[in-house]
Amino acid sequence: MNTKKLLAVGTCVSVLGMFSACSDDASPVTPPESYTSSSSAVQPNSSGDVLTSSSDIVVSSSSANNPVPVLSSSSGEGVVDSSITNMGVSEIMYNAAGGSALEWIEVYIKKGPDITDMQLSNLRLDGAVSFNFPTGSLKAGEYVIVTNDVALFNQTYPSLPAGCKVYGPWDNDPKTGAVAKLVNEGDVVDVKLKGEGDVSAAFSNNPPWPSLANGNGRTLVYRGSGNEADPTSWGASVAVNGNPCVGNDQVLDASTVRLNEIKPYDINAAANKDGWVELYNSGAAPVDVAGWELVSKRKNDGKGKTWTIGGTNTVVPANGYLLLEATEAVFGDGLFLSDNGDEIYLYEVVGGARTGLESSLLLSAGKQSSGVVQVAGTVAQGAMATETPGAANSALKAGPIFISEIHYHEDENNPNDLEFLELVNKGTEAVTLVESVNNTPHGWKVEGVNLEFAATDVIPAGGKMVLFNDSLKGKDALLRARYTIPESVPICYYAGKLSNRGETVAVKKPYSFVENGGVKQWYYEISDATLYSDRWAGMTDTDGKGKSLNRKEFTTAGYGYTAWEAKAPTPGN
């Protein structure tokens, strides 16, 4: 639900309609049913090394067709204020096994005081699904469930811990009139509490999110630390069907060997067709990957194809690299990877069977390699600026269009403060934000705010563009007056809402498509991307206190807090 915002121009105040802010005016609902029983807890996972996790190669929770590089938890994360109640999401069932329609979200107090009355405190879910919690307390150490189907949940979990609170169903989808559904391709669950202590928890079936949580009988479990919008903070549950109403659940760990860089096979090239796969071992001991399996899961270009690693050189040295040429000698019938982009999983195999440990890499569309790099103390993934087979990776490919300013959390006490994004063209030529691919026009996209550009959208060389929420359409003159935006700077509008806590935002250029049955599946190159956070140290003034994230470094994609600074909003200037 949107909140009314006013835009002041001089001494005149004009109503701009419904602005997409958090739904603090949501009305309470009747308390749902609860169920109680008993169960036993499991011990927390002991692994905490992000670089050895199956989730250390990070992509967004956007569509499975659209690879978006993002980053792992930033070393610039600040300290959480323990004087207020900080909410958390500890477990998500977004795609149950066996075609079951059951979905649920586990919520708890991550830090801070107990909640005396959830309804009076306006505790609610927002984002992927909506739900207002009823009257009643929530105490530290207590885990509660919100589900789409209370009866089905109770049938699936007949033995729950004593006192387990189960609420539901969550609200209907206004588009369908039926109970809302968690989209398997990914979304963000917001837990909101008076605008303070909120959390935005992402989930997705894209790499590197664990495949076992995607319809394969496990839940997605928060590891207990890190940004909840970041895949590195999540893992697949050890327990089949998860462990609702119990915290500190065990998470499947991963091998120290990960996919580090992959060069697609160029099927149209006259020579040098063979691609390659680079593995990296972050452990202190060498690992023999003979018999391990690589799987392509792309919907087109050979989905489900499996290759077994063979050949004479299959040992990944400690803290070192192994380069595997995509040839028949290594992969049997040859590893042919489409340059339209792909989803590649590496599975550990012991005794002829997969162990459940995996690493994955979502290949960007194009003929360049995709891989993992360290950026400002974080781990980021995307298309490489330069191929580096068998060696440390280069910088991420980026530009010419960059994200230059993000005002993700407007000051809710200031009716003139508005959420926006700013883009800049660092190239020497104007960029028309629609590409013609095989005589088919298709617009660039901004992932995270649901925007696809039209043929009339152009950013001049060295110029900027400002993006506002589409509730402000038709108010160009007022917006330009409010922020002194020059007439030469175009203004566009998006349908989504920037998370107040942090999410992936990416600028994507359409590169190619595959058509099946008259339906086009588009693939994209990444021009720029970031995963901002309201916990970046030194930039807390951007979290609802009037300042915005301003870009100060454009040599690579906008990952890490060191690429940004907190300044007064200056869209288009």
Segment among 36-40, 215-219, 254-258 with least mean pLDDT: 36-40
Q: Can you read off the two tokens belonging to residue 226?
A: 């890190």
Query: Which pLDDT belongs to residue 339?
Result: 73
Query: How many beta carbons lie within 10 A of that of residue 477, not counting itself?
Result: 10
CA–CA dist 109, 140 (Å, integer): 5
| Confidence bin at 379 (pLDDT 50/70/90) | low
CA–CA dist 257, 254 (Å, integer): 8
Segment among 38-47, 82-91, 103-112 with least mean pLDDT: 38-47
Reduced to 3 states, what is the DSSP secondary structure of residue 219?
coil
Q: Which tens digit of pLDDT belongs to each residue from 152-179?
A: 999 999 999 999 999 999 999 988 899 9
Q: Which amino acid is at 88?
A: G
The mean per-residue pLDDT over the stretch 381-390 comes to 88
456: region left, alpha or beta (phi > 0 left; psi from -120 to 50 alpha): alpha
Q: How does DSSP assign 155-195, residue by residue?
A: HH-----TT--EE---PBPTTTSSBP---TT-EEEEEEETT
Query: Which pLDDT belongs to residue 513?
Result: 82
Q: Can you read off the two tokens belonging to residue 239?
A: 């327990």
Residues contacting 517, CB < 8 A, separation 6+ = none
Q: Comparing 59 with 142, which gets the higher pLDDT?
A: 142
Q: How does DSSP assign 547-559, residue by residue?
A: -EEEE---SS---
- The hierarchical CATH code for the domain 257-383 is 2.60.40
What Cα–Cα distance (Å) separates residue 6 from each residue in 18, 516, 541? 9, 47, 22
CA–CA dist 94, 127 (Å, integer): 14
Query: Which pLDDT belongs to residue 74?
Result: 42
The mean per-residue pLDDT over the stretch 493-498 comes to 87
Q: Where are the alpha helices (DSSP H) in 338-411?
A: none
Query: Which pLDDT belongs to residue 65?
Result: 38
- Does 71 score more than 50 pLDDT? no
* Whole-prediction pTM: 0.72
Task: Output the average pLDDT for the chain.
Answer: 81
Q: Tell me, which fold does domain 398-567 have in CATH?
A: Immunoglobulin-like (2.60.40)
| Confidence bin at 512 (pLDDT 50/70/90) | confident
The H or E element that residue 150 is part of is helix 150-156
What Cα–Cα distance (Å) separates residue 199 from each residue in 75, 165, 254, 540? 19, 20, 26, 15
Evaluate whether 280 touches 308 at the Cβ level (below 8 Å).
Answer: no
What Cα–Cα distance (Å) separates residue 312 from each residue in 275, 309, 445? 18, 10, 44
Residue with tokens 């790499």: 207
The mean per-residue pLDDT over the stretch 215-229 comes to 91
Q: Where are the alpha helices (DSSP H) in 377-488?
A: 476-483
Q: How does DSSP assign 256-280, residue by residue?
A: SEEEEEEEPP-TT-SS----EEEEE
Segment among 8-22, 72-86, 523-537 with least mean pLDDT: 8-22
Domain ranges of the chain: 56-236, 257-383, 398-567
CA–CA dist 89, 128 (Å, integer): 13
| Confidence bin at 70 (pLDDT 50/70/90) | very low
| Confidence bin at 424 (pLDDT 50/70/90) | very high
CA–CA dist 467, 178 (Å, integer): 32
Reduced to 3 states, what is the DSSP secondary structure of residue 344?
strand
The mean per-residue pLDDT over the stretch 84-92 comes to 94
Evaluate whether 508 touches 526 at the Cβ level (below 8 Å).
Answer: yes
Reduced to 3 states, what is the DSSP secondary structure of residue 517?
coil
Q: Can you read off the two tokens belonging to residue 125?
A: 């879910």
Evaluate whether 182 touches 91 at the Cβ level (below 8 Å).
Answer: no
Q: Comparing 38 with 85, which gets the higher pLDDT?
A: 85
The mean per-residue pLDDT over the stretch 230-253 comes to 91
- Does 269 score more than 60 pLDDT? no
Query: Which pLDDT belongs to residue 448?
Result: 82
CA–CA dist 25, 22 (Å, integer): 9
Residue with tokens 């042919």: 336
Q: Comparing 345 with 1, which gets the higher pLDDT?
A: 345
- Does 60 score more than 70 pLDDT? no
Q: Which tens digit of pLDDT belongs to each residue from 177-218?
A: 999 999 888 888 989 887 667 888 989 888 888 999 999 999
Q: Is the peptide bond between 460 and the residue preceding it cis, with omega within 30 degrees of 0?
A: no
Q: Which of 330-339, 439-448, 517-526 has the highest mean predicted lDDT (pLDDT)?
A: 439-448
Query: Which pLDDT belongs to residue 80?
Result: 55
| Confidence bin at 4 (pLDDT 50/70/90) | very low
Reduced to 3 states, what is the DSSP secondary structure of residue 50?
helix
CA–CA dist 533, 344 (Å, integer): 28
Percentage of the chain beyond pLDDT 90 is 51
Segment among 71-80, 316-325, 466-475, 500-509 with least mean pLDDT: 71-80
**Quick one: which of 468, 471, 476, 540 has its CA closest to 498?**
468
Q: Comparing 126 with 467, which gets the higher pLDDT?
A: 467
Residue with tokens 């288009």: 572
Q: Is the peptide bond between 208 and the residue preceding it cis, with omega within 30 degrees of 0?
A: yes
Q: Which tens digit of pLDDT belongs to each residue from 324-377?
A: 998 888 988 778 777 777 889 999 999 999 988 889 988 887 778 999 887 655
CA–CA dist 567, 68 (Å, integer): 27
CA–CA dist 150, 146 (Å, integer): 8
What Cα–Cα distance (Å) separates residue 454 from each residue in 432, 436, 444, 459, 507? 9, 12, 8, 12, 14
CA–CA dist 404, 235 (Å, integer): 32
Give first-to-last CA distance, the chain, whole Å: 31
Evaluate whether 74 touches 227 at the Cβ level (below 8 Å).
Answer: yes
Q: Can you read off the two tokens belonging to residue 141?
A: 């150490």
